[in-house]
Amino acid sequence: MDLSRPRCRHWRELVLLASLLACGIRQVYSQISIDPESLLGIKGFRTILVLQNVPQDVQEYSWHRGTNDTAENMIVSYTPPSETWQSGPMFSGRENVTRTGSLVIRRSALNDTGNYTARVDFGNRTEKATGCLSIQELENKPGIWANASSVVEYMDPVAAICYTNATNVNWYVEYTQVSSNDRMTISPDLKTLIIHRVSRYDKTLQCETESIPEFPRRSEPLSLSVDYGPDNVQLRTSHSILNGILSAEIGSQVHMECKATSRPSPKYHWTHNGSLLSLSGAKIILPSLAWEQMGRYRCIVENPMTQLAMYREFQIQVPQSCCEQRLLHLRSQSGQRLSLRNPDLYVDQPSLHQ
């Protein structure tokens, strides 16, 4: 803060001393007082100096610049019996007194900082209170920067820096406040957050400062590009797979599709009896199943960025004991269950009912 400007004690200190002091001044004469929490204003915003403990039957409220209540430094006054307002020499055009005696300053400026004295006239006596108003400038949003923008999940660390002169900094990951834990460390000066192994849920980072109480300022969200997977590899096939076996009749059409959670989109490869198929892509269609297309299939899912690969494997067979018995495998609506043309025949084949 600029030391050439007039300064007031911070309201947190003032709150501690509130009952006795405001800006080093005892409010000795009075029952009335200026709410210490109202003695902090933000440049450009409305400030209200709140008068407390005001008894009934007020004849006049007047507000003055400085520590005494002379006519030369009067800002504005309000006379309840006649409902009239009067401006004084220190009136800037932005001040007014509310019907409860509080001083309102619109579009507060930094040079509104200083002492203010309220006088309340009850006809046969007056009460006074002085408080020191501090107008502060809301600092800019803090800046944020990370030393990597594209990272691999569970492999790469990232360090984010909060650009601010504030000393209290909070960190947010995916809009949730975080503290140091086994996955991340916040530096002792609070300005650096290190995530030791970034996960896909750590995409958005923000820092926040609160140099003026109750006026937190949060940085723009910083987005990390996190590559992850493949995981959750799943097979979808036209025929159900039971215990790794897809039973299909010769001549039938077989669809096989692999799915995985991965960023970026993975590459898919297929092998049949251990040999790489020339077909690639997530989906394979065998229009009319031939004998030589029986055997072991493997779908391999590969993420070139994380350099991880996963596979799922199954065997295509002609239906075993059941072929003569004309068992049909039909997909039910859920796509999982088998339905049998004549279920009574197969009650003792538990695997078919799974």
Is 109 a binder of ligand NAG (CB under 6 A)? yes
Query: Which residue is it, tokens 């800006």?
Result: 23
Taking the least distance from each CB to ligand NAG, the nearer of 142 and 266 is: 142
Task: Name residue, tokens 């989109």.
Answer: 265
Rounded to the nearest 10°, the torsion over CA 322, 328, 332, 336 is: 30
280 interacts with ligand NAG by CB under 6 A:
no
Segment lying near ligand NAG (by CB under 6 A), choices 118-126, 224-232, 318-326, 339-347: 118-126
Asked if residue 2 binds ligand NAG (CB under 6 A), the reply is no
- The reply to whether 319 sits near ligand NAG by the rule CB under 6 A is no
Tokens (6 digits) for 142: 């803090």
Residue with Cβ nearer ligand NAG (70 or 325): 70
For residues 6 and 80, which CB has a smaller minimum distance to ligand NAG in the complex?
6
Number of residues that bind ligand NAG (CB under 6 A): 38
x-marked contacts with ligand NAG along 162-201 as a string, rule CB under 6 A? -xxx----------------------------x-------
Of 15, 17, 32, 240, the residue nearest 120 (C-alpha): 32
70 binds ligand NAG (CB under 6 A): yes
Give DSSP secondary structure letters for 20-73: TEETTEE-TT-S-EE-GGGSEEETTS-EEE-EES--S---EEEEEESSS--GGG
Options 190, 222, 282, 294; binder of ligand NAG; rule CB under 6 A? 294
Burial class of residue 190 (count of CB atoms within 10 Å of its CB; 0-12, 13-18, 19+): middle
Q: Say which DSSP state 14 is in.
A: H
| Residue whose C-alpha is closest to residue 293's, from 275, 323, 277, 272 | 272
- Under the binding rule (CB under 6 A), the answer on residue 80 touching ligand NAG is no
CA–CA dist 316, 281 (Å, integer)? 19
Nearest-approach distance from CB 166 to ligand NAG, in angstroms = 8
Residue of closest CB approach to ligand NAG: 295
Name, in order, each residue with C-beta under 8 angstroms of 82's C-beta and a sequence gap of 6 or more: none
Nearer of residues 148 and 242 to ligand NAG, judged by Cβ: 148
Q: Which residue in the set 9, 21, 25, 322 belongs to the binding site for ligand NAG (CB under 6 A)?
A: 25
Q: Which residues make up the interface to ligand NAG (CB under 6 A)?
A: 6, 8, 23-25, 57, 66-68, 70, 76, 85, 87, 96, 109, 111, 113-115, 123-125, 132, 147-148, 157-159, 163-165, 194, 272-273, 291-292, 294-295
